[in-house]
Amino acid sequence: MTHIALVREATNELEKLPARRKDTRGRKMIIRIEVSDADLETMECDSLEEFEEQIRNQLDNGVVTSDGGAGADWMAEYDLEVIKVD
């Protein structure tokens, strides 16, 4: 089973970050995904790199808001960590 975790450092400031722009506080959202060989096979990916490329494309271009925006239009800057598990 693939596990996806979104991690963001706590802050006392609540603000809407500009889409995909550098966070001036020096922090990024971390998206950490744990994936097994069985998960890769189910998703027809031959490698972690291929999976990472596909998931990054989905995050940036395939996540659509109700008004038609893509992930890159509204998501904060992020780091993607794909981790192989047994």
Question: Residue 86: pLDDT above 90?
Answer: no
Higher pLDDT: 13 or 22? It is 22
Domain ranges of the chain: 28-86
pTM: 0.61
77, 84 Cβ separation under 8 angstroms: no
- For 59-83, b/e burial (b = at least 16 CB within 10 A) is beeeeeeeeeebbeebbbebeeebe
Q: What is the pLDDT of residue 67?
A: 81
Model pLDDT for residues 16-75, shown as the tens digit of each residue: 434 444 554 667 889 999 999 999 999 999 999 999 999 998 888 886 778 877 877 777
